[in-house]
Amino acid sequence: MTFKLGLTGSIGMGKSTTAQMFADAGCAVWDADAAVHRLYSVGGAAVPEINAAFPSAVIDGQVDRARLREIISDTPEALRQIEAIVHPLVRDDRISFVKSASSDIVVCDIPLLFETGGESEMDAVICVSVSPELQEKRVLERGTMTRDQFLAIRAKQMPNDEKIQRSDFVITTDTLEDTRRQVHDVLEQIRKDIGHA
């Protein structure tokens, strides 16, 4: 049986880097953001339904994410409609990935794991975390958003302390070396538990 490990964490916490470390350690990794990208691309399963609900969001046969963001900011209830279309498709994508995976542990990289209730479908959950100061420094160093934009995104996400309380494991991503050690410790613990189950 495949062990499903949910990986979550707020913006700038080091989730993508940690996911890559799990992949390097031999785990199959499913990425929710990449799944949405596939669903929105030409031929993607979300395109016809988004087109039916918001025709102006589909350009050249694919969902234009910038246009979708504009629609959401102009029409608050649009987000619920979009989520009702996309979340079941993302879930189907994840289920089919897990079924086809050959590794004993599949890591599901899901930024909004708790917000979407996805933790109920995982065998365990890891939250990646750093101090609020380091989180802000990392995000602003990317140069892709202003401090106000970052603070607005962080305010919409579930508080980090709450994510930590609801998780089975916490990985602090201060340094690459320490993060890698924690990834190996988590895998060792899970494999030991699987062995005793």
Tell me the per-residue pLDDT of 16-71, one tens digit each, with 9 for 90 and over: 999 999 999 999 999 999 999 999 999 999 999 999 999 999 999 999 999 998 99
Domains, the chain: 3-196 (3.40.50.300)
Distance CA 28, CA 30 (A): 7
- Per-residue pLDDT of 42-56, as tens digits, reads 999 999 999 999 999
In this predicted structure, the answer to whether residue 196 has a pLDDT above a threshold of 70 is: no
Measured N-to-C along each axis, helices 78-100 and 46-53 cross at an angle, to the nearest 10 degrees, of 170
What residues contact residue 65 under an 8 Å CB cut-off, 6+ apart? 40
- Contact assessment for residue 47 and residue 58, using Cβ atoms and an 8 Å cutoff: yes
- Average pLDDT for 154-181: 94
pLDDT reported for residue 73: 86
List alpha helices for 57-175, DSSP H.
65-74, 78-100, 132-142, 147-156, 160-166
Give CA 136 to chain center in angstroms.
19
- Average pLDDT for 70-84: 89
